[in-house]
Amino acid sequence: MVKINNKQTPLNTDQQILTATLKLFSEKGYFNTSVRDISRESGVSIGSIYHHFKDKEGVASAIYNSLLERINSELSEIQSVHKTAHDRCHAVVSFLFELTEQEPDVMEFMLYSKHREFLPDEIPLCSSQPFELMREMVKSGMQSGEIETMDVILASSCLYGAALRMITSKLDGLLEKPLYEYLDTIWKHSWKSVCI
Amino acid sequence: MVKINNKQTPLNTDQQILTATLKLFSEKGYFNTSVRDISRESGVSIGSIYHHFKDKEGVASAIYNSLLERINSELSEIQSVHKTAHDRCHAVVSFLFELTEQEPDVMEFMLYSKHREFLPDEIPLCSSQPFELMREMVKSGMQSGEIETMDVILASSCLYGAALRMITSKLDGLLEKPLYEYLDTIWKHSWKSVCI
DNA sequence: GTCTATACGACGATAGAC
DNA sequence: GTCTATCGTCGTATAGAC
């Protein structure tokens, strides 16, 4: 089952709504999902949904922000556990692969949606804390001499680009094997592209 | 001005509709664009739009397929002009960068939309002829000994992943300089990641 | 082929009882 | 806090004149 936050609280109405909505959004997209659909899928009445959230966009916004927060705390943990850019970025890719396999809905919604179309007031994913943190790790690797000096966005594209494409390929059903079977190879080549 | 096909015919009603629609779709997305919007933007009445296309999805479908065809013919040209995987793939990346700079609407619509959400019956982009061709170029490079032998999707992710991320970064407004200023560096690192 | 006017349905959102 | 019933809006699509 997909959890929106990673606390082990018993499922309250909020969570029921968010979980059902994430499933529908990742399956059909925001615009193909009606509030009636959410009511049916979650078993919560329309009235209750509007009692818990301002409107449909409010539900999407709650999902987006809680997932951003969850991913960010995971990346922060990675940053504090590992000390080199090599180990940090490797752990990031590994985590993203794991998340894709365990909770494809989450990745589908986070990596593979055009949030700007239905959440115009939220911060874009590419400027969000997790993405900033991923670039920060690359930057520190350039300063420590592990990674060739170049534009940070460019280096990040080189280092994460292949892995992110493998994730979308997985979500598109192009890959038969689970993602982690590609992890070592992807990482080897990605690192090779930027290391000194 | 954005052209859907690259023929130099005078603008007929079909083209007026397609051009205006592509602009709106890339700006606001399929679902935030009403047929009224298309009518206003194109200067063609709603009745005429429905005379030329079966429905709104039919307009999107026409855009999608004509752009696929156009890109595919460009990639085929590249394949016949260049003989090594190195030169072919480099030309592909160069072409995609150029297209992003010249006609961002096209790339926004092709690379940055969830077509499955509004074109459920069309072939997914990842299985389309252009993408197949891009992978084919990589495959032939493995057979000729230019590129390390590995899963084709994996190699393609390594070789094109960074460039594709730079394109989305450009569309997201993250890059100040035009894409072609990054071309040499991106290509150098991408190629380094897979070459023997 | 192009237009205007309109029918029809679906959806988001609210009211108000329990 | 949860529910059912309903309202108003908007968007797609069609009818029919020119």
- What is the full per-residue pLDDT of chain B (196 aa) written as tens digits? 445 544 444 479 999 999 999 999 999 999 999 999 999 999 999 999 999 999 999 999 999 999 999 999 999 999 999 999 999 999 999 999 999 999 999 999 999 999 999 999 999 999 999 999 999 999 999 999 999 999 999 999 999 999 999 999 999 999 999 999 999 999 999 999 999 9
Is the predicted pLDDT of residue A29 greater than 70, yes or no?
Answer: yes
A28 touches chain B (CB under 8 A): yes
Q: Nearest 5 degrees, angle CA B156-CA B161-CA B164?
A: 120
Range 119-148 of A in CB contact (< 8 A) with B:
124, 126-127, 148
Q: Among residues B181, B4, B9, B1, which one has the least CA distance to residue B98?
A: B181
Cβ contacts of B18-26, under 8 Å, gap ≥ 24: B18/B59, B18/B62, B18/B63, B18/B66, B20/B44, B21/B59, B21/B60, B21/B63, B22/B63, B22/B105, B22/B106, B22/B109, B23/B105, B25/B60, B25/B63, B25/B109, B25/B113, B26/B104, B26/B105, B26/B106, B26/B108, B26/B109
Q: With 70 as the cut, is the pLDDT of residue A7 above it?
A: no
Ordered domains of chain B (ranges, CATH): 8-53 (1.10.10.60), 65-194 (1.10.357.10)
Assign B145 to helix, strand or coil. Answer: coil
pLDDT of amino acid A10? 45
With cut-offs at 50, 70 and 90, classify the pLDDT of residue A9: very low
Query: Which of B127, B158, B169 lies closest to A157 in CB terms?
Result: B169
| Residue B4: predicted pLDDT | 58
For residue B186, the chain A residues in CB contact (below 8 A) are 154, 157-158
Interacting residues of A35 by C-beta distance below 8 A, sequence separation 6+:
A46, A49, A50, A56
Does residue B121 sit in helix, strand or coil? coil
Q: What is the pLDDT of residues A141-168, one digit of tens each?
A: 999 999 999 999 999 999 999 999 999 9
What positions of strand C are covered by protein, i.e. any atom < 7 Å from a CB? Answer: 1-6, 10-16
B46 touches chain A (CB under 8 A): no
User: In this model, does residue A191 exceed pLDDT 60?
Assistant: yes
Which residues in chain B have Cβ-Cβ distances shorter than 8 Å to A93?
none
Residue B1 pLDDT: 42
| Per-residue pLDDT tens digits for A13-24 | 999 999 999 999
Distance A193 CA to D6 C1' (A): 61
Structure tokens, B54: 């079966």
**Nucleotide whose C1' lies closest to the alpha carbon of residue B51:** C1
Alpha carbon A31 to its chain centroid, in Å, reads: 20
- Tell me the residue type at B90: H
Q: How far apart are the CA of A31 and the nearest CA of chain B, in angstroms?
A: 7
Q: How far is B158 from chain A (nearest CA, A)?
A: 5
Average pLDDT, integer, range A75-86: 98
User: Which pair of tokens denotes residue B27?
Assistant: 């700006």
In A, minimum Cα distance to B152 occurs at A175
- pLDDT for the residue B3: 52
User: pLDDT tens, B48-77?
Assistant: 999 999 999 999 999 999 999 999 999 999
Q: Do A154 and B166 touch (CB under 8 A)?
A: yes
Mean pLDDT over residues A31-39, rounded? 98
The answer to whether A192 touches B192, Cβ cutoff 8 Å, is yes
pLDDT value at residue B8: 42
Assigned token pair, A134: 């991923």
Q: What is the pLDDT of residue A44?
A: 98
φ, ψ of residue A147 to 5 degrees: the values are -115, 140
Does A28 have pLDDT greater than 60?
yes
Residue to substitute from B158, B182, B183, B195, interface A, most A β-carbons within 10 A:
B158
Q: Global pTM?
A: 0.95
Please give the pLDDT value at position A153: 98
A4: pLDDT confidence band, cut at 50, 70 and 90? low
Q: Is the pLDDT of residue A57 over 80?
A: yes
